[in-house]
Amino acid sequence: LAKTTQPISMDSYEGQEVNITCSHNNIATNDYITWYQQFPSQGPRFIIQGYKTKVTNEVASLFIPADRKSSTLSLPRVSLSDTAVYYCLVGSFSSGSARQLTFGSGTQLTVLP
């Protein structure tokens, strides 16, 4: 079972780049790394997913080193509306098997004006 560790909180200013790191030392070969954003009273919302190296989409980048024991979510030019809790999720599932999915404890990102 992959245990994940994240910083509890981070502060940033509007327009800055924010990097949030998640440690997952026990990640398994088939596990993927997914990051979610959660606002109060809402369910988590998908941001980005990766297996290894770097993945980029329209809102974020995800960096995964070769040993896959950590990952870093990068949010370019944050705005006030990016204030939320960010979670990394490690795990996988398929038609033939199910693997317990482990969320980190979450990082509260506060973007200041």
Partner 1 sequence: GAGVSQSPRYKVAKRGQDVALRCDPISGHVSLFWYQQALGQGPEFLTYFQNEAQLDKSGLPSDRFFAERPEGSVSTLKIQRTQQEDSAVYLCASSPRSGGGSSYEQYFGPGTRLTVT
Report residue 75 as tokens.
């949010």
CB 86 within 8 A of CB 20: yes
For tokens 């809102």, the residue is 59
Could you give the string, one character per residue 47-86, with x where binding to partner 1 holds by CB under 8 A and - elsewhere?
A: --x-------------------------------------
Whether 103 contacts 87, CB under 8 Å: yes
Among 27, 44, 64, 84, binds partner 1 (CB under 8 A): 44
Does position 40 interact with partner 1 (CB under 8 A)? The reply is: no
Nearest distance from C-beta of residue 60 to partner 1, angstroms = 14
- Residue 55 CB, shortest distance to partner 1, in Å, is 11
Q: Which of 57, 86, 62 is nearest to 73 (CA)?
A: 62
* 106 touches partner 1 by CB under 8 A: yes
